[in-house]
Amino acid sequence: MSWFCGSLRGNKAPHVAHYLDDLKGCGNHLEELARESFFSILEGMVLKLKESKDEDEIKVILNSLKWKFLGRDHQSLYHLKLFNVLHEGNGTKDHKLKKSWGRPLKQEIVSSEKDKKLTKEVVDLFEQVFLLTVGRII
């Protein structure tokens, strides 16, 4: 997943890219096929996120879901039920995603992305996708 996301993002780690960046001029048909394929892959990642119990695996998946989404992506995001999965996980009360909510976020200096706490990762992704989608509506 890291390789896939890195190649689509142009290996610019802090840069949040749109999945169709650098595909300009490919035409509406190919753009729609790329969009469908991308969200099909994301759907698999969200399903894996629901099932995962390993914190490191969850962090990798959360990172792979960080994209710049545009207004035309809202319907696909809705069908993924990403916000539900980030909030509830698979619905069990002991799921790591569900347990991430309601915890205080400690302000600390983190030397690398790997050292970030799961709670911070979940809240960061939720906030990023929320702001990108609501910002487009407003």
Q: What is the pLDDT along the chain (138 residues), one digit of tens a residue?
A: 555 665 555 555 556 777 777 777 778 888 889 889 999 999 999 999 999 888 888 888 888 888 888 888 888 988 999 888 888 888 888 888 887 776 665 555 555 555 567 778 888 888 888 887 776 565
Residues 6+ apart with CB under 8 A from 21: 10
Supply the pTM of this predicted model.
0.71
From residue 136, how far is each of 22, 65, 68, 132 by CA, in Å? 21, 18, 11, 6
- The count of other CB atoms within 10 Å of the CB of residue 109 is 5
The secondary structure of residue 115, as a DSSP letter, is: G
Report H helices in the chain: 2-8, 28-51, 55-64, 74-80, 82-88, 96-99, 118-137
